[in-house]
Amino acid sequence: MTITKKPETRLAPNSWGLVGGDNPFEYAPAPEATDHVRIEPEYGLFIGNEFVASKPRKTFTVINPATEEPLAKVAHASKADVNRAVAAAREAHRSSWSKLPGRERAKYLYRIARILQERSREFAVVESMNSGKPIKESRDVDVPLVAAHFFYYAGWADKLDYAFPNREPRSLGVAAQVIPWNFPLLMLAWKIAPALAAGNTVVLKPASTTPLTAYLFADVVRQADLPPGVVNIITGPGEIGMELVTHPDVNKVAFTGSTAVGKMIARAVAGSDKKLTLELGGKAANIVFDDAPLDQAIEGIINGIYFNQGEVCCAGSRLFVQESVYEPLIDKLKARLSTLRVGDPLDKNTDVGAINSAGQLAKVQELVDSGIAEGAEIFQPDCELPDRGFFFRPTLFTGVSQSHRIAQEEIFGPVLSVLTFRTPDEAIEKANNTPYGLSAGVWTEKGSRIFKMVNAMRAGVVWANTFNRFDPTSPFGGYKESGYGREGGIHGLGAYLDLSGGDGR
Q: Where does this chain bind ligand NDP (CB under 6 A)?
A: 178-182, 205, 207-208, 237-238, 241-242, 256-258, 261, 264-265, 280-281, 313, 360, 363, 410, 412
Q: How far apart are CA 13 and CA 223, in angstroms?
A: 43
Strand blocks (E) in 230-388: 231-233, 252-256, 275-279, 285-288, 318-322, 377-379
Tally the C-alpha atoms within 13 A of residue 414's C-alpha that lie toward its C-beta.
26
Closest CB 358 distance from ligand NDP, rounded Å = 12
Closest CB 136 distance from ligand NDP, rounded Å = 21
Taking CA atoms, 226 is separated from 111, 255, 428, in Å, by: 10, 24, 49
Nearer to ligand NDP by C-beta: 208 or 350?
208
Using DSSP, state whether 233 is helix, strand or coil.
strand
Nearer to ligand NDP by C-beta: 356 or 420?
356
Task: Give the active site residue among 32, 311, 313, 487.
Answer: 313
Task: Give the active site residue among 137, 279, 311, 410.
Answer: 279
SS (H, E, C) 84-115: HHHHHHHHHHHHCHHHCCHHHHHHHHHHHHHH
Q: Which of 90, 81, 150 is nearest to 119 (CA)?
A: 150
Closest CB 270 distance from ligand NDP, rounded Å = 14
279 is known as an active-site residue: yes
Nearer to ligand NDP by C-beta: 198 or 269?
269
Q: Which of 141, 419, 65, 460 is nearest to 303 (CA)?
A: 141
Q: Which of 203, 319, 181, 205 is nearest to 258 (CA)?
A: 181
137 is known as an active-site residue: no
Nearer to ligand NDP by C-beta: 265 or 383?
265
Query: How does DSSP classify residue 458?
Result: -
Closest CB 435 distance from ligand NDP, rounded Å = 13
Nearer to ligand NDP by C-beta: 313 or 321?
313
Closest CB 276 distance from ligand NDP, rounded Å = 12
CB 62 within 8 A of CB 72: yes
CB 21 within 8 A of CB 11: yes
Nearer to ligand NDP by C-beta: 204 or 462?
204
Nearer to ligand NDP by C-beta: 235 or 350?
235
Closest CB 235 distance from ligand NDP, rounded Å = 8
Q: How far apart are CA 327 and CA 332, in angstroms?
A: 9
Nearer to ligand NDP by C-beta: 207 or 450?
207
**343: phi > 0 → left, psi -120 to 50 → alpha, else beta; which?**
left
Amino acid identity of residue 432, one-letter, is N
Instruction: Give percent helix, percent strand, percent coil of the chain, each to the nearest 5.
Output: 40, 20, 40
Query: How does DSSP classify residue 175?
Result: E
Query: How does DSSP classify residue 252?
Result: E
Closest CB 104 distance from ligand NDP, rounded Å = 31
Closest CB 392 distance from ligand NDP, rounded Å = 13
CB 386 within 8 A of CB 439: no
Closest CB 467 distance from ligand NDP, rounded Å = 16
* Sign of torsion over alpha carbons 153, 156, 160, 164: negative
Distant-in-sequence, close-in-space partners of 470: CB < 8 Å, separation ≥ 6:
141, 145, 476, 488
Distant-in-sequence, close-in-space partners of 426: CB < 8 Å, separation ≥ 6:
none
Q: How far apart are CA 12 and CA 445, in angstroms?
A: 28
Closest CB 330 distance from ligand NDP, rounded Å = 26
Pairing of strands 174-178, 252-256: parallel
Nearer to ligand NDP by C-beta: 13 or 44?
44
Strand partners, 288: 321, 443
Nearer to ligand NDP by C-beta: 228 or 238?
238
Active site residues: 279, 313
